[in-house]
Chains A and B, each alone.
Chain A
Amino acid sequence: MSTPLKQIHLAAHFPGVNNTTVWSDPEAGSHIEFSSFAHFARTAERAKFDFLFLAEGLRLREQGGNIYDLDVVGRPDTFTILSALAAVTDRLGLTGTINSTFNEPYEVARQFASLDHLSGGRAAWNVVTSWDAFTGENFRRGGFLPQDERYSRAKEFLATATELFDSWRGDEIVADQTSGTFLGDARAGAFAHQGQHFDIAGQFNVPRSPQGRPVIFQAGDSEEGREFAAAAADAIFSRYSTLKEGQAFYTDVKGRLARHGRTHDQLLILPAATFVLGDTDAEARELAHEVRRQQVSGATAIKHLEFVWNRDLSAYDPDGPLPDIDPDPGEHTIARGRAQVRMYRDPLAVAREWRELAAANKWSIRDLVIETGNRQSFIGSPATVAETINSFVQADASDGFILVPHITPGGLDAFADTVVPLLQERGVFRTEYEGTTLRDHLGLAHPGTEAHQERAAS
């Protein structure tokens, strides 16, 4: 007998404020009006996706001292838009990115517990950290956190929020009109936390929510990030969508779980993945190339080169050869408010390699950026894409994917209509939601009982 097929988890990432999103396409709609979010969420729910995913940024990006204007700019408040989406969907999970650096545990715990109540148990929190003083300029604390403390604060933030979620057991609201007892326990919500980053005590004021706690996502890729996820997350939003890289990451992170007393199925690995569909594989390949040209305009190509060169390259022609000068090896100053710039750890080597590639292939700056940039993860006919996704999941490159369409809000429609039915036919993707909460969709235990037992034992 063969092992049973793994069930695939699928999620929809609302198109982000980067050049993956093609705003110049005639099909591209608003990135801020609620109708776009509602369309996108309804499509994901129609396709029985596990959840919708929303990223967050707390300072507009800058390059060369100016607000970056080539990509989509502007997005809504994470909590507020997710709560509104709870009104136009019934089952779809609602995952929001919320920064642990520029927030306080009491308020964030209250917002997630509220969102979980208001969505009937569909809330999830992608915990991210930042430390930069650039973002801090928008907040009371300013740039208060040394870089090497960001995970220590994030860990303590999450632990503190968990204490707040668990400060209600779930049976305190009696609301007995006859006896006049509303609250079964006057100490409901009592908490006290003392640590390096937080010293807080009192009573949490949101009763236990349907999921007990929101599902926890982690997205960082560093050693610390992986440990943080293995210790405390329910799912990882990773960036390894190729088979080999995906398998390596999967093995690494799942291998860490035992050390934290956790089992293999308690942490899902869900890479971000882009896709281009066509009637045939050849048509999809052609389309994919067109999309990449839309994603990388001449101006975008120059800006992208600046991440590596750490210099103003605006004088260069994107259709001409690469710059002869070397990258500025000093502190990175050209682009601010982006994670991307940290990906190039040795700019001189990258520049050398790119010059050689460009010379060998007769590529212009724009060609180089298009050709060396990330290709779409899945390119092909619906059958090819369904087969590839399934084979990746069965080969333990992931537990599913968080799909990032390049068009707002309709970029998911074709996938929902053509690829999902094929996955359903193969018996690897649900045809109906079996449960009502996001934990149900993801096959994660409800933490309610666990908290009860701990409390009963103490």
Chain B
Amino acid sequence: MSDTSSTPSTPLHLAVALDGAGWHPAAWREPQARPRELFDPAYWTDVVTEAERGLLDFVTFEDGLSLQSSRRTEPDGRTDQVRGRLDAVLIASRVAPLTRHIGLVPTVVATHTEPFHISKAIATLDYVSTGRAGLRIRVSRRRHEAEHFGRRTLPRFGPEDLDTPVVRELTAELFEEATDYIEVVRRLWDSWEDDAEIRDVATGRFIDRDKLHYIDFEGRHFSVKGPSITPRPPQGQPVVSALAHQSVPYRLVATSTDIGYITPHDPDQARATVAEIRTAQAAAGRAEEPVHIFGDLVVFLDDEPGAAAARLERLDAVAGQPYTSDAKVFTGTPAQLAELLLSWQPAGLSGFRLRPGVIGHDLEAITRGLVPELQRRGAFRRSYEADTLRGLLGLARPANRYATV
């Protein structure tokens, strides 16, 4: 065992995706789970603090505008799984003053919310975390979620209809709206130049209003005038990310985000998806801009070989059915996972977003097992090297699109 036993590679970026008690539907029934505390701030503070102890780049917080469901298109009426959740932006903000380095990336649903509100919410998260905010954008094509808002009627469809023209058209429309949404959010972040606040006592002016800008966005789904009510956040542009499984969302990743999460099941799939995103990026004129691609994996980790697989089997028995996921499900030891991550990395992945099967167990296995394994291989940081999320991701603080040089 030596720190120099393998060739140092480009350091990996690591994130953890937080959802309830973990990604396995029976996670809440494990002894380490705290299912009665899922609505308490102490639970979220402890979990994010643990992720920060592991020097992770950031955590994401899942969110949605309806009760969780095991069905993709409708409620399931189940009572044997975690149901109910708190607003992800507010969880992130509640945790921000109690952490110092880790990035905080809540999920935001573009389909039913206001880009003006979300832009200032994430800017504010950036202020309260002094530069560690991001967002993960998603769309909702669920009819029952639309009925919670009563503003638009979405077609009724089931899982078998996902590939029909109607659903494909709806998906394209919602992603087009999400693209506009991010454009508005980003313009609003830039709608104040960094030095707009002048506090010039001689002239009595608090701001130089020439450094505030109307964004004048006009789109198919909304028009937004601006400027934001919140000054430009510390990072300038907080980090925008999205999960993508198909060409339409790949284009969103390519045109609008700083990070895309993809779900390859092997390095070849990863390579192909990365290539598709890079092509779309070039087509969007962003070839020169850094867009990180993270691989998503659901992980069950135990030190004892075979123990994680046995644990998953036991969890599946409790749940009454085998666990399936859009992402690859990994069971094994932290060392095996470290090897897998490093062998997938050359497919063009900057890092990975790990979804702990059971947060109470697998998060610590990541921070105290996987991270040291990666450090030993020279593939992960040994201390936080930057104060902002952009800094951790190697993204420069961007120039303001409205500033005249």
Q: Which residues of A contact B (CB under 8 A)?
A: 23-24, 32-34, 38, 57-60, 66-67, 69-77, 79-81, 83-84, 86-88, 102-104, 106-107, 110-111, 113-115, 117-120, 137-140, 142, 173, 175, 177, 180-186, 188-189, 198-203, 205-207, 297-300
Residues of A within 8 A of B98 (CB): 87
Question: Least Cβ distance of A197 to chain B in Å?
Answer: 9
* Interface flags, B164-208, vs A, CB<8A=1, else 0: 000000000000000000000000000010000101010111111
- Let me know if B230 and A77 touch, CB within 8 A: yes
Complex CA distance for A84 and B106, rounded to whole angstroms: 14
Residues of B within 8 A of A142 (CB): 223
- Let me know if B36 and A87 touch, CB within 8 A: no
Q: State whether the Cβ of B289 lies closer than 8 Å to any Cβ in chain A.
A: no
Complex CA distance for A200 and B229, rounded to whole angstroms: 30
Complex CA distance for A184 and B79, rounded to whole angstroms: 7
Residues of B within 8 A of A77 (CB): 117, 120-121, 123-124, 230
Residues of A within 8 A of B33 (CB): 177
Q: State whether the Cβ of B311 lies closer than 8 Å to any Cβ in chain A.
A: no
Q: State whether the Cβ of B313 lies closer than 8 Å to any Cβ in chain A.
A: no
- The 5 A-B residue pairs whose C-beta atoms are closest, nearest first, are A137-B225, A175-B35, A84-B128, A80-B124, A114-B87
Closest to A174 in B: B79
Complex CA distance for A106 and B87, rounded to whole angstroms: 12
Residues of A within 8 A of B87 (CB): 79, 110-111, 114, 206
**A24 and B201 contact, Cβ closer than 8 Å, known pairs A104-B112, A107-B65, A180-B80:** yes
Q: Which residues of B contact A (CB under 8 A)?
A: 28-31, 33, 35-36, 39-41, 45, 64-68, 75, 77-87, 89-91, 93-98, 112-114, 116-117, 120-121, 123-125, 127-128, 130, 144-145, 147-151, 192, 197, 199, 201, 203-209, 212, 221-227, 229-231, 318
Residues of B within 8 A of A74 (CB): 192, 197, 207, 229-231
Complex CA distance for A86 and B92, rounded to whole angstroms: 12
A32, A102, A175: the one within 8 Å of B114 (CB): A102
Question: Least Cβ distance of B42 to chain A in Å?
Answer: 10
Question: Least Cβ distance of B278 to chain A in Å?
Answer: 33
Residues of B within 8 A of A188 (CB): 67, 83-84
Closest to B208 in A: A69
**A138 and B83 contact, Cβ closer than 8 Å, known pairs A79-B90, A106-B65:** no
Residues of A within 8 A of B68 (CB): 205
- Let me know if A182 and B199 touch, CB within 8 A: no
- Let me know if A177 and B29 touch, CB within 8 A: yes
B39, B112, B205: the one within 8 Å of A173 (CB): B39
- Let me know if A87 and B147 touch, CB within 8 A: no
Most buried by B among A57, A102, A207, A300: A207
Complex CA distance for A69 and B97, rounded to whole angstroms: 31
**A200 and B67 contact, Cβ closer than 8 Å, known pairs A67-B212, A77-B230:** no
B30, B79, B84, B148: the one within 8 Å of A181 (CB): B79
Residues of A within 8 A of B203 (CB): 299
Most buried by A among B40, B205, B221: B205
Q: A32-B231, A206-B39 are known; give 5 further A-B pairs, CB within 8 A.
A: A74-B230, A75-B229, A106-B149, A110-B65, A203-B75
**A186 and B77 contact, Cβ closer than 8 Å, known pairs A74-B229, A87-B94, A111-B87:** yes
Question: Least Cβ distance of B135 to chain A in Å?
Answer: 12
Q: List 15 A-B contacts (CB under 8 A).
A: A23-B206, A67-B207, A74-B230, A76-B123, A77-B123, A80-B120, A83-B93, A84-B93, A84-B128, A87-B95, A104-B151, A110-B65, A183-B79, A203-B75, A205-B66
Question: Least Cβ distance of B400 to chain A in Å?
Answer: 15
Question: Least Cβ distance of A389 to chain B in Å?
Answer: 31
Residues of B within 8 A of A107 (CB): 65, 112-113, 149
**A182 and B83 contact, Cβ closer than 8 Å, known pairs A58-B229, A80-B89, A86-B41:** yes
Complex CA distance for A120 and B41, rounded to whole angstroms: 8
Most buried by B among A34, A67, A74, A183: A74
Closest to A303 in B: B204
- Let me know if B35 and A114 touch, CB within 8 A: no
Complex CA distance for A205 and B206, rounded to whole angstroms: 42
- Let me know if A115 and B90 touch, CB within 8 A: yes
Closest to B33 in A: A177
Most buried by A among B83, B96, B123: B83
- Let me know if A181 and B80 touch, CB within 8 A: yes
Closest to B199 in A: A23
- Let me know if B90 and A173 touch, CB within 8 A: no
B82, B128, B145: the one within 8 Å of A34 (CB): B128
Complex CA distance for A199 and B33, rounded to whole angstroms: 38
- Let me know if A180 and B318 touch, CB within 8 A: yes
**A118 and B86 contact, Cβ closer than 8 Å, known pairs A84-B97, A139-B114:** yes
Complex CA distance for A189 and B223, rounded to whole angstroms: 33
- Let me know if A87 and B204 touch, CB within 8 A: no
A87, A173, A202, A299: the one within 8 Å of B97 (CB): A87
Question: Least Cβ distance of B293 to chain A in Å?
Answer: 29
Question: Least Cβ distance of B203 to chain A in Å?
Answer: 7
Residues of A within 8 A of B91 (CB): 83, 114, 118
A57, A66, A139, A173: the one within 8 Å of B224 (CB): A139
Most buried by A among B125, B204, B205: B204
Question: Least Cβ distance of B151 to chain A in Å?
Answer: 7
**A70 and B120 contact, Cβ closer than 8 Å, known pairs A83-B94, A86-B94, A202-B144:** no
Residues of B within 8 A of A202 (CB): 66, 144-145, 147-148
- Let me know if A139 and B113 touch, CB within 8 A: no
- Let me know if A186 and B78 touch, CB within 8 A: yes
Closest to A106 in B: B148
Residues of B within 8 A of A76 (CB): 120, 123-124, 127-128, 230
Question: Least Cβ distance of A121 to chain B in Å?
Answer: 12
- Let me know if B90 and A83 touch, CB within 8 A: yes
**A81 and B35 contact, Cβ closer than 8 Å, known pairs A67-B207, A74-B230, A181-B79:** no
Complex CA distance for A383 and B64, rounded to whole angstroms: 53
Residues of B within 8 A of A73 (CB): 197, 206-207, 212
Residues of A within 8 A of B197 (CB): 73-74
Residues of B within 8 A of A198 (CB): 150
- Let me know if B29 and A298 touch, CB within 8 A: no
**A138 and B225 contact, Cβ closer than 8 Å, known pairs A87-B96, A199-B150, A202-B144:** yes
Closest to B121 in A: A77
- Let me know if B85 and A182 touch, CB within 8 A: no
- Let me know if B67 and A205 touch, CB within 8 A: yes
